[in-house]
Amino acid sequence: MTPDIRNAKVYFSSLGGKEEKESAAEGLNSASGYIRKSLSEKMRFKFTPELFFRLDESAEYSIHLNQIFDKIHKEKEKKDEPA
């Protein structure tokens, strides 16, 4: 959120494919006015921030790193096994 509370980036995750991610982003951005109105009814700010939805790919990146670590671990176990 910016210091003047006029704008807020909202990060979201989607573990689907490229089309599902794009669809989720489009849906959130098209509903931003409704979401903003709902927030204004619940928040006690002078201004309700304009919402900007951004895809957060950190969950997918974390999954990818775990797969790499698992692969390295399995390869190490194979090398450590007696022949």
User: Does 83 have pLDDT greater than 80?
Assistant: no
Q: What's the whole-model pTM score?
A: 0.64
In this prediction, residue 57 carries a pLDDT of 83
Q: What is the pLDDT of residues 21-74, one digit of tens each?
A: 999 999 999 999 999 999 889 888 788 899 999 998 888 888 889 999 999 999
Torsion of CA 15, 18, 20, 25, to 10 degrees: 90
CA distance 65 to 70: 9
Fold of the domain built from segment(s) 7-80: GMP Synthetase; Chain A, domain 3 (3.30.300)
The three-state secondary structure class of 17 is: coil
User: Does 2 have pLDDT greater than 90?
Assistant: no
Residue 6 near residue 52 (C-beta atoms within 8 A): no
CA distance 61 to 65: 6
Instruction: Give the domain ranges of the chain.
Output: 7-80
